[in-house]
Amino acid sequence: MSAIDGLLELVDGYLAGTLTEVQQADLDRRLCTEPRSRQLFWLAINHEVLLRTRTVAGLEGVAAADAGPGGAPWWRAMAVRWAAAALILVLLGAAARFGLRQGAGPGILGVASLVPARAGGGGSVHHPDHRQEPLRIGQVLGQDDAIEVEDGASVELRAPGEATTFALEGAASLVVRTTPQGMRLRLEHGELTAEVAHQPPGRQVMIGTPQATVEVVGTRFVVAASAERTSVDVDDGRVRVAASGIPGDRAEIGPGGRVVARTGQRLDESPLSELSWSDHRPIGVLMLCTGESGWPRNPRGWLHDAAIDITTAGGREELRRRLEAIVDQSIANLHAVGAQALVFWDLEGMESPLGYVGDPRQLATLAPEMDAIADGLIERVRSAGIAVGVAIRLDEVIRARPGGALSLSPAHAPALLAQQRMHYAHKRWGATIFPLLGAPREGMDIATICRRLHADSPQALIIPTAAHGEADRWSAPWIQPEQLASHLGSPHRPGSMAVIAPLDDAYMAAHRDELIHAVEAGDVLTLRAWYKTDGHLLVQQIQAAAQAHPR
């Protein structure tokens, strides 16, 4: 081993916390006596930091660096991403600890993200002194501030210094208050979802909803409240729930437990039902773009065609016509095989190196040409009696600077983020099927995310592309072709199902019997909907054979 390798191994061990006493002494000695070792030490540490900044997906950082005169300096993409995570903490922390917020009490929550309604409005903040101001990102909410969210908008609020997040959606109203015993929130109307972190001793978060008061001490849980219903799902610790208007009707639930409060009814402590998706017919997928086309007039790579021109009205009209034709062809193909649904994977286009975007809420800004026609395209699908799906990503998708590349940033609360995106797609297009792209970075596993999404939308089919553990209790994992052999060879958990990614015709023909068994057991086949292949006939045959012997 060279001297360089030896030193770098010591630094690796230092960062991994695995050095023995002797190795640590060796590292100390070399750093004290060898200038070159000090250089290598810094290089190795900064190498790890650079990799951890996660700007390397698709090398978008290079594009930013190459932006040329007037472009943002290379560090900004990384820094903005980091700052996005830190800024609210800082604003709130500063405000709360040092009274920087003028003319108001300490900050209780900060507006971490705001997705306006399609009409353009987000909402407003009403202060106790009757001042009113528009809702904006970075705003700090103080004592007795009331936040009004416009119908169609969604807002994420975060508490300073802790992983507590609240999401408010359309036509919602929330009053914020803090006491020495902890935060007190009152949802007047609308939908609230909360992810509450462990609270320090002596403090508890209390959330009042129209149906219940939810009281929590040192735990992590989710509360979802609407005008008719409040549900509480506990990850760990214990939560007490008291029904409004029914004296003595209280419940205390522990890890994995749930309770639902409905107006005028006693609390319901029935456990969350597992996924029960009765339709096992095939699902079509529709991918409309090619990635990183670099075509100036078709930057999002629509229809893999450099000749498409979205910069002119005529070009956009031509795009609409061609997309409608593709959707109609897809519908015909899906009807031919008796498929249940069509899933759109890339409604936002593929302008950036990150691939599928999976944030339909940003459609108007990311792909305005599609935003203008998406409703009509999807309505054609639904009118044909075919259900609609939309791919959803678990990461934040941000553009660090105007005109720069999109990039991914770990979501602070991935389940909440996915939930908001699903709600948007459901409300706008009636979507009920949601492939989940990506994997949670840390702190929460995919099974927990799937459980939460299922609890929130039990009528939806969630298809995680990176499923683990018990995710299949709440969702139908996406099986890639390379995973198929092990999937088919593994025992099927009763009641579970998977969604098998589109397969090559030859593979299907060669594994016809195994695929029939998989479909018999509940798995769902998919197919590329926009063009017809021999594989469509195979899907049809496999489906028919499986239906002859259902599980």
Partner 1 sequence: MPTHTEQVQQLVIRHAGLLHGFIASLCGDLVLAEDILQEVFLVCTTRAQTFTLGSDFLAWARAIARFKTMEMLRSRTRDRRMLNQDALKAVESEAPSLEDWQRQREALHRCLERLSPGQRRLAAMAYGDGLSPQQIADKRAQAPQVVHVMLSKLRRILRDCVLRRMGLDA
Return the number of the residue (29 or 427) whose C-beta is nearest partner 1: 29
Tokens of 516: 């029939």
Return the number of the residue (154 or 352) whose C-beta is nearest partner 1: 352
Site for partner 1 in 423-442 (CB under 8 A): 438-439, 441-442
Window contacting partner 1 (CB under 8 A); options: 11-19, 310-318, 398-406, 426-434: 11-19
Return the number of the residue (208 or 477) whose C-beta is nearest partner 1: 477
DSSP code per residue over 349-374:
---STT-----GGGHHHH-HHHHHHH
Window contacting partner 1 (CB under 8 A); options: 33-41, 144-152, 290-298, 308-316: 33-41
- Residue 112 touching partner 1 (CB under 8 A): no
Which phi and psi angles does 278 have, rounded to 5°?
-85, -15
- Residue 471 touching partner 1 (CB under 8 A): no
**Residues 282/543, Cβ–Cβ less than 8 Å:** yes
Window contacting partner 1 (CB under 8 A); options: 97-105, 138-146, 182-190, 199-207: 97-105
Cα angle 280-374-479, degrees, rounded to a multiple of 5 = 30
CB neighbourhood size of 156 (10 A): 24
- Residue 494 touching partner 1 (CB under 8 A): no
User: Minimum Å distance from CB 115 to partner 1?
Assistant: 23
Distance separating alpha carbons of residues 293 and 352, to the nearest angstrom: 9
**x-marked contacts with partner 1 along 309-348 as a string, rule CB under 8 A:** ----------------------------------------
Return the number of the residue (93 or 182) whose C-beta is nearest partner 1: 93
From 6, 31, 328, 532, residue interacting with partner 1 (rule: CB under 8 A): 31
Distance separating alpha carbons of residues 449 and 413, to the nearest angstrom: 10
Site for partner 1 in 56-85 (CB under 8 A): 56-59, 61-62, 65, 74-76, 78-80, 82-83, 85
Q: Produce one character per residue of 405-430: b if its CB has 16 or more CB atoms within 10 Å, e if not.
A: bbbbbbbbbbbbbbbbbbbbbbebbe
Q: Produce one character per residue of 164-191: b if its CB has 16 or more CB atoms within 10 Å, e if not.
A: bbbbbbbbbbbbbbbeeebbbbbbeebb
**Residues 339/282, Cβ–Cβ less than 8 Å:** yes
- For residue 473, give the 3-state DSSP assignment: helix
Collect all residues with Cβ–Cβ distance below 8 Å to 231 and sequence separation of at least 6: 223, 224, 225, 258, 259, 260, 261, 455
Return the number of the residue (62 or 384) whose C-beta is nearest partner 1: 62
Site for partner 1 in 189-228 (CB under 8 A): none
Return the number of the residue (4 or 307) whose C-beta is nearest partner 1: 4
- Residue 100 touching partner 1 (CB under 8 A): yes
How many residues would you count in the chain? 551
Collect all residues with Cβ–Cβ distance below 8 Å to 269 and sequence separation of at least 6: 251, 253, 257, 258, 259
**Residues 369/308, Cβ–Cβ less than 8 Å:** no
Among 465, 390, 473, CA closest to 432? 390
Max CA separation in the chain (angstroms): 78
Window contacting partner 1 (CB under 8 A); options: 12-20, 244-252, 375-383, 493-501: 12-20
Site for partner 1 in 358-397 (CB under 8 A): 395
Distance separating alpha carbons of residues 70 and 62, to the nearest angstrom: 15
- Residue 4 touching partner 1 (CB under 8 A): yes
From 3, 332, 485, 544, residue interacting with partner 1 (rule: CB under 8 A): 485
Distance separating alpha carbons of residues 456 and 229, to the nearest angstrom: 11
Cα(first)–Cα(last) distance of the chain, in Å?
Answer: 59
- Number of residues this chain uses to bind partner 1 (CB under 8 A): 73
- Residue 53 touching partner 1 (CB under 8 A): yes
Site for partner 1 in 230-249 (CB under 8 A): none
Return the number of the residue (331 or 391) whose C-beta is nearest partner 1: 391
- Residue 468 touching partner 1 (CB under 8 A): yes
Return the number of the residue (51 or 336) whose C-beta is nearest partner 1: 51
Return the number of the residue (290 or 330) whose C-beta is nearest partner 1: 290
Window contacting partner 1 (CB under 8 A); options: 32-40, 120-128, 219-227, 255-263: 32-40
From 270, 278, 486, 490, residue interacting with partner 1 (rule: CB under 8 A): 486
